[in-house]
Structure 1
Amino acid sequence: MENKKVWFITGASKGFGLLLAKQVLNEGHIVAATSRNVDELVEAIGPKSDRFLPLQMNLTTEDCVGEAINITYKTFGRFDVVVNNAGYGIAGSIEELTDEETRSNFDVNVFGTLNVIRSVMPYLRKQQSGHIINISSIAGIAPGCGFAIYAATKYSVIGLSDVLAQDVKEFGINVTVVAPGAFRTSFLNSESLAVAKRPIAEYQQVRNVQTKYLQMDGKQVGDPQKAIEAIIEVSEQENPPLYLLLGNDAYDRAMSKLDYLEKEFRLNEELTRSMAYQG
């Protein structure tokens, strides 16, 4: 176990999660990987071994998450890097998406992440070490038309990560929230990007944006291998950043959002500052 880190990666049967699990294993580390379908994990990565533990896990069920965390600890005795990668996108306006569709996206993207954090924190606190890496999206910083619910889940991941970093700093635990742009993974196919089941004809702009993104599948400029190598690099830093933007598009969108926010905040600065009692 010397010099080998134990990684716990959710959503590891495809996309970033799969590439990350394979790369970490190739570098000689230890991986516990989760998926809704353990057979897919075994097929994609390989059978259980002394360095690889495939786990079937329902991310939205706290007891199931806790069991996977407990099995990992009993198997490897520690956690060094915990990656909350599992999630999916959903396209549609707020009016078009049902309560069930909306809650389902929050259940996986937000509450699933919270389930993992709650379950693993007792072990990390006891160790007084560890690194939690939460995969958000540039949509959680600078969202676009037609993705309100998805953006809301990723805003939530950014917000909880920001405060989590402050809360766990005294235990020697680091937190990084990753905001990727468009990368050539399976994210834009039907398995990873849901669309509103009851579209409303009047939302033409939303449909146009949705079509644009679906047509981008397989043509994204971002190289996912470079993205996971960046995540691994950050995991090895003594003082890793809280925020990690990935891709030119992510960086440009984030900086444009900063400019936009400054203009918006200053627009009514006098009114904003006039709230104190007088006299």
Structure 2
Amino acid sequence: MNNQVWFVTGASKGLGLSLAQTLLRKGYRVAATSRRREELVAAIGETATNFLPLTLNILDEAHVAEAIAATVAHFGTVDVVVNNAGYGLVGAIEELTDAEARANFDINVFGTLNVIRQALPQMRSQGKGHIFNIASIGGFTGAFPAFGIYCATKFAVHGFSESLAQEVKPFGIGVTVVSPGYFRTDFLGASLGLPAREIPEYANVRAVQSLHQHDYNGRQAGDPDKAAAAMIQVLEDGTAPLHLFLGEDAYQLAEQKIAAVQADLDAVRPLATATGFEHA
């Protein structure tokens, strides 16, 4: 199993870095990408037999194709793809500009799709593979004022991951959408975009923004090394689910969402289900 080749995007920091380091310690072969190769080398080390650091712009599909080809040329295959590259975005829906919203979708959604499109031909040809799409608990529940656009990008990741799982199952390829809760990385610092324009009336948005930037940041309960180990273990054990929630907080928030949806279903069931045509 640890002879597998993992292709990890956004690996110079956060969960991606923890994953790449854990994989290398366990003897896996790893192609790790970042916008700046020097950051990867500084964080992980120079090229080794089982480590290939790559510069990657995930918005350039031709560049993505080159990175996948370089991985196959170096290691002979790609077994596991981890779409981890992404960033957070704070701001009320009304505050964020079209450009700010689209930029977040470009990286979090379309960048991930670029990698998937370029990796699948190799996986299909070998008749096996696994794709981890890193979403967020904010992709399952959107009950976070100030994170509407970010949540929308991660809801999109959930949606296309579920469809993708059905599409590639006949080829022996598995898909897991990962929904972490709060893990102690720099996500709430260097990886958090802020609105260029703030509307003073949104006191609740500013409160949530401040809470994440100043109270949660650096105090998150989740250990990213343990999250990385859990991802590796479910694949090693053959138990990788379609939906992988990571962290006690993620479980609590997911269960609250499920209960809330069930309550909404039950509240109007007779009215909402009596909407078909009358049968003679």
TM-score, normalized by length of structure 1? 0.97
Letter in 2 for 1:19: S
Residue 177 of structure 2: SS of its match in structure 1? strand
Letter in 1 for 2:99: E
Identical counterparts, % of pairs: 52
Deviations 1:35-59 (A, max 9, x none): 0001101111111222111110101
Match of residue 108 from structure 2? 109
Contact 1:134 1:176 survives alignment (8 Å): yes
Match of residue 245 from structure 1? 245
Deviations 1:60-80 (A, max 9, x none): 111111111111111111111
Letter in 1 for 2:78: F
Match of residue 47 from structure 1? 46
Match of residue 121 from structure 2? 122
Letter in 1 for 2:124: R
- 1:54-203 aligned at under 5 Å gives the runs 54-143=53-142, 144-189=144-189, 191-203=190-202
Contact 1:139 1:154 survives alignment (8 Å): yes
Contact 1:81 1:235 survives alignment (8 Å): no
Aligned residues: 277
Aligned equivalents of 1:126, 1:236: Cα separation in 2? 22
Query: What is the Cα deviation at residue 6 of structure 1?
Result: 0.3
Letter in 2 for 1:98: T
4+ residue runs over 4 A deviation: none
Query: What is the Cα deviation at residue 267 of structure 1?
Result: 2.1
Aligned-CA RMSD value: 1.1
Query: What is the Cα deviation at residue 3 of structure 1?
Result: 4.9
Match of residue 18 from structure 2? 19
Query: What is the Cα deviation at residue 274 of structure 1?
Result: 1.8
Residue 236 of structure 1: SS of its match in structure 2? helix
Match of residue 263 from structure 2? 263
Query: What is the Cα deviation at residue 266 of structure 1?
Result: 2.1
Query: What is the Cα deviation at residue 177 of structure 1?
Result: 0.8
Aligned equivalents of 1:238, 1:172: Cα separation in 2? 13
Aligned equivalents of 1:177, 1:236: Cα separation in 2? 17
2:279 is aligned with 1:275: no
Q: Which runs of 5+ in 1 are unaligned?
A: none
Q: Which runs of 5+ in 2 are unaligned?
A: none
Contact 1:21 1:31 survives alignment (8 Å): yes
Aligned equivalents of 2:136, 2:19: Cα separation in 1? 17
Query: What is the Cα deviation at residue 187 of structure 1?
Result: 0.6
Aligned equivalents of 1:210, 1:4: Cα separation in 2? 43
Residue 245 of structure 1: SS of its match in structure 2? strand
Match of residue 6 from structure 1? 5
Aligned equivalents of 1:235, 1:108: Cα separation in 2? 26
Deviates more, 1:71-80 or 1:144-153: 71-80
Match of residue 221 from structure 1? 221
Aligned equivalents of 2:48, 2:127: Cα separation in 1? 27
Contact 1:164 1:175 survives alignment (8 Å): yes
Letter in 1 for 2:193: A
Contact 1:81 1:130 survives alignment (8 Å): yes
Deviations 1:80-110 (A, max 9, x none): 1110001100011111011111011000000
Residue 237 of structure 2: SS of its match in structure 1? coil
Aligned equivalents of 1:29, 1:180: Cα separation in 2? 23
Contact 2:10 2:16 survives alignment (8 Å): yes
Aligned equivalents of 1:120, 1:237: Cα separation in 2? 23
Contact 2:2 2:27 survives alignment (8 Å): no
TM-score, normalized by length of structure 2? 0.97
Contact 2:33 2:53 survives alignment (8 Å): yes
Deviations 1:101-150 (A, max 9, x none): 10110000000110000000000001110110010000011121110000
